[in-house]
Copies of this chain bind each other. A is one copy, B any other.
Amino acid sequence: MKSAILTQLNEVLQVTESPKPILAKGEVLVAIKSAALNHRDVFIQQGLYSGIKIPVILGSDGSGIVSEIAEGVDSNWLNKEVIMNPGLNWGNNPKHQAKDYIIMGTPTNGTFAEYISISAELLHPKPSHLDWNEAAALPLAGLTAFRALMVQGNLQLTNKVLITGIGGGVAQMALQFAIANGNEVWVTSSSDDKLQKAFELGAKGGIDYKKDKWNKELVQQAGEFDVIVESACGSGFGAVVDCCTPGGKVLIYGGTAGNIGNIIPAKIFWRQIAIIGSTMGSNEDFAEMLAFVNKHKITPTVSHVFPLEQAQDALDFLNTGNQFGKVVLSIS
Contacts and interface: CB of A to CB of B under 8 A. Distances in A.
Interface of A: 93, 95-97, 152, 233, 246-247, 252-255, 258-266, 268-279
A109 to B, nearest CB: 22
Nearest to A93: B247
A232 B268 CA distance: 13
B269 A278 contact: yes
A278 B265 CA distance: 11
A279 B266 CA distance: 9
Contacts of A273: 276-277
14 contacts: A95-B246, A95-B247, A96-B271, A96-B272, A97-B272, A252-B268, A259-B263, A260-B263, A260-B265, A271-B277, A272-B278, A273-B277, A274-B275, A274-B277
Given A272-B278, A276-B274, A277-B272, A265 B233 contact: yes
Given A96-B247, A261-B261, A274-B277, 17 more contacts: A96-B246, A96-B271, A96-B272, A152-B274, A252-B265, A252-B269, A253-B269, A255-B266, A260-B260, A260-B264, A268-B275, A268-B277, A270-B279, A271-B277, A272-B276, A272-B277, A275-B276
